[in-house]
Amino acid sequence: MVEEKPTKPTIIVPEGKSLVIKPGTPSQEQPQGNQQQISIPEISAVLPVRNTVVFPGTMMPLVIGRAKSRKLIEDVLPDQRVVVLVAQKDASVENPTPDDLYEHGTAVVILKLLRTSEEAQTIIVHGLVRVRIEEYVQTEPYFRARITPLEEQVPEGKEIEARLIDVRQKALRIVQLSPNIPDEAQMVINSIDQPGALADFLAANLVSDVAVKQELLAETNVLKRLERLEKILYHQVEVLELSGQLQEKVRESIDKAQRESFLREQLKAIKKELGQIDEQSADIEELTKKVNESGMSE
């Protein structure tokens, strides 16, 4: 199994080579001209993951800490680097069965293996394509399943263009309102032209709920995925804007209270100073009176 460290996936922008993904028997990547071909085995090793959903086109590290997972990695590397990641329905389940896993996952290629200790390893994976689990054919020592790679449906027309623009604008607004998201994210969001790729990038980075992420992963119709994502981002923008308004009111209230407190302290100091002067004047007057009554000369 996989235990994930909190991390944010990032989009991969291939340089120089394009990636061709096709069903087939296990084989190493075979460069063809300016393309790199990766075959997705019909029967693939399945790696359950907790608290995360990996999307096509994203890259992220995963910490491998359990015996079953280490055995899977040991068997598939280095000859076959493609595995399928499937999220657990309940992250608290230590030893999930097929019923504990979602039906849809992502075929990924393992880019790098880092051995951090005898008991733990870290793999860097790159999401390739959505897949559907058709049948589990092996459960020990790890899962293997018959899978079907899924193609996206991208409807043509003005509606998907409008949805794409609206989703992009909402995402940019979220970046502006979120102090923890670097401003460079705006450049990445503006650079992604394909509707499906943008939807996956935003789902991976701006959606936190695993069940919602899983819904977006299972949706192969890009227009429907954008519609669902649009509602999610709209809600986030509303919450962030309301939070900003509340923070501003609190800040103004604190500023006002601080000003009033400062003025009260100043007034208190002035009164105290004036009080000390009055006391001194009274003492002088009293002393002068006693001197006069005693008949003492100056």
Query: Residue 7 is part of a domain; what is its CATH number?
Result: 2.30.130.40
φ, ψ at 69 (rounded to 5°): -70, -40
Phi and psi (nearest 5°) for 33?
65, -120
Give the domain range for residue 49: 2-149
Where is the domain boundary, 81, 116, 149? 149
**Same domain for 261 and 278?**
yes
Q: Residue 173: which CATH number?
A: 1.20.58.1480
Q: Residue 9 and residue 217: Cα distance in Å, rounded?
A: 14
Query: Which residues, including other chains, have CB under 8 Å from residue 203's CB and lie 6 or more apart?
Result: 55, 213, 216, 217, 225, 229
Cα angle 60-105-227, degrees, rounded to a multiple of 5: 90
Residues 16 and 101 in one domain: yes
| Judgement on whether residues 189 and 272 belong to the same structural domain of the protein | yes
Based on the fold, state whether residues 267 and 292 are members of the same structural domain. Answer: yes
Are 24 and 141 found together in one domain? yes
Q: Mean pLDDT for each 10-residue chunk of the chain (298 residues)?
A: 45 39 47 63 94 93 89 87 95 92 96 81 93 95 95 91 94 89 88 94 92 96 95 92 76 68 69 58 62 60
**Predicted local confidence at residue 287, as pLDDT:** 65
Domain stop point among 149, 170, 199: 149
Residue with tokens 């880092």: 114
Question: Which amino acid makes up residue 251?
Answer: R
